[in-house]
A = this chain, B = another copy of it.
Amino acid sequence: MSCLCLPMGLPLEDIPELHDTHTFTLLRKGEALFRQGMPFTGLFLVRSGSLKQVSTTSTDESLVTAYAMAGDLVGLDAIGQSLYPGTAMALETTTVSVLPQERLSELGAQLPALRQQLCRNLSQEVHNERLMLRLLLRRTAEARLAYFLVAVSARFQRRGYSASRFRLALSRSDIGSYLGLTVETVSRTLARFHKQGLLKANGRDFHILDLETLSRVAGASGRRGMGG
């Protein structure tokens, strides 16, 4: 269920570049790491802060398609077309390390394990996205938001932060865009969760009070499921 995040588990610790603090790039809030349509130049590892990836469709809709926090890899979905499929924008002051394309090829040649692992991560990602989004497709707003919060909480935990208290740099409308809901619905649903004692949310600071129940809400289908 590690769904809302970019893949992990790559043996990145073996790559010296990523630890060279000289190659860090600093982004201020609102600055773009890359823009939609730019040719693929490499992957990025988020060191601190967070980014959102926004894709604009042919019909001029902007969708938040990914949220990357410290430890996440950004740019994997650019490999396919050799173009970045969205714009990665810093949600706060953010640092990233760069893993240029040519270096990636070199490493791939040297370390078959890396190559293989990258492929696995991609395959895994295909499956996760398919299943999760198809699940969201038939979930109520309540379940979608609960699911999202539980996933984010788990992600913070895996990174060594508190699972119950965290700052989520996404705005309400970013969350709405990510989950396919309007701002108003996000706001109202959070208020409902608050009233039920499941969490406290003022602004972008979240405090999960009842992860147990929240997980249950996330799992509740609320809509008819079928196929078979």
- The count of identical subunits is 2
Q: Does A195 sit within 8 A of B, measured CB to CB?
A: no
Question: Are A137 and B137 in contact, CB atoms less than 8 angstroms apart?
Answer: yes
Stretch in contact with the other chain, from A20-28, A154-162, A169-177, A199-207:
A169-177
Question: Are B76 and A126 in contact, CB atoms less than 8 angstroms apart?
Answer: yes
- What range describes how many residues of A lie at the interface? 35 or more
Question: Are A126 and B62 in contact, CB atoms less than 8 angstroms apart?
Answer: no
Q: What residues of chain A have their CB less than 8 Å away from a CB belonging to chain B? A: 1, 54-55, 57-59, 61-66, 76-81, 85, 115, 118-127, 129-131, 133-138, 173-174, 176-180, 182-183, 219-221, 223-228
Known: A55-B131, A63-B131, A182-B223. 12 other contacts (CB 8 A): A61-B135, A61-B225, A63-B134, A63-B227, A119-B119, A133-B136, A134-B180, A173-B226, A176-B227, A177-B226, A177-B227, A183-B226
